[in-house]
Amino acid sequence: MPERLIYLDNAATTRVDPRVVESMLPYFSEKYGNAASQYYELGRQARAALDTSREQLARLISALPEEIYFTSGATESDNWVIMGSVLGGNAKKKHIISLPTEHHAILEPLEWLKKNGYGDYTLLPVDKTGKVDPDDLKKAIRPDTALVTIMHSNNEIGTIQDIPALAAIAHEAGVPFHTDATQSVGKIAVDAKALGVDSLSLSAHKFHGPKGIGALYLKKGTRMGVFMHGGGQENNRRAGTSNVSGAVGMGCAADIASEYIADAPRQRQLTEDIWVGLANAIPKIYRNGHPEDRIPNLLSVCVEGAEGEAILGYLDMSGLQVSSGSACTSGSLEPSHVLLACGVPVELAHGSIRISISHETSLEDASFLVKTMPGAVERLRTMSVTWKG
């Protein structure tokens, strides 16, 4: 076991802020009521806490409290929008437009709908930085298009799309627009109204809140089918006993997120320093994603002549915790679908590393990574039969 663990996988999940933990504790023991039980005090306490949390989250993304619907996480929120748009929307509109670089929480529901005969979808091409051409979106919209869903910032390479421009194109054609902003909320300022979206997904554990709680922003007046059936919770739009403690934690995380957002310039500089340090020390290492239009805390690279999973193993032995891509696909032998969509060759995509920092990451942490990773790559390359450096 290394003497010190340095966590650099904040795109996968973040450490719950101690203040968040403290805010949640009473709702496990003292204030344990069901928010749907309004006939006695414990139930009313739970409902009041849920309402407060909704207000806190609404402030974070510049929305109205009644536009916030709590879910189990961004995956459920994404599924809700996709299923609700096709199965609960206009019977003549069954076509959805998205990107090949989206999270599997978008791509797999799209494929399920198509496979089972409920709808069809189009995935627009992206350039080498992961950006989509707005003209391609304009050309892809059909009379039967029910939804456009395009991620705000990519969870593997960090590229930020021009969501206001893309949403405007969709709206010009009368098509609702959804964005998965899971990697953006709590890291940079996200204004749902300014983005011009009809719906937006987010998850608490990406900005130092608890796991198992997320939300869906639904712009007032947006038509959306019910996804979870069996109760009248969330204004009759999402059934299931309210996760009050989780919502309280998410609300608290939302309230203190301004501290994390204020640290964004430092994090951007730190990721830049890491990149420069690695680029100077490791031959044939390549940066993925857009160099400027990106979230500040994420750096994705590909290393020629070394497997990403093997690099992770060496770094782990030194106490450095990073990933080779999305946490949802770690352990897969397949190269990243995001990198392949950006035109990265299969062999190079196998050498991908994702480094994601937070407000807790120090210059010392970054320096240790820059000092340690070149040695790991060099050792792996000496054992490679394909490396010709």
Active site residues: 328
* 250 half-sphere exposure, CB direction, 13 A CA radius: 37
Instruction: Say if CB 371 and CB 319 are below 8 A apart.
Output: no
Q: How far is CA 167 from the centre of its chain?
A: 19
| Those residues with Cβ within 8 angstroms of residue 135's Cβ, 6 or more apart along the chain or in another chain | none
- How far is residue 208's CA from residue 99's CA, in Å, rounded to a whole number? 28
H or E element at residue 69: strand 68-71
Q: Do 355 and 271 touch, CB atoms closer than 8 A?
A: yes
| CA nearest to 344, candidates 310, 308, 384 | 308
Q: Which two tokens stand for residue 329?
A: 């696909």
Residues in the chain: 389
Structure tokens at 168: 């405007």
Nearest to 294 by CA among 202, 356, 217: 356
**Which amino acid appears at position 249 of this protein?**
G
Nearest residue to 96 (alpha-carbon basis) of 122, 74, 71: 122
From CA 209, how far away is CA 15, in angstroms rounded? 8
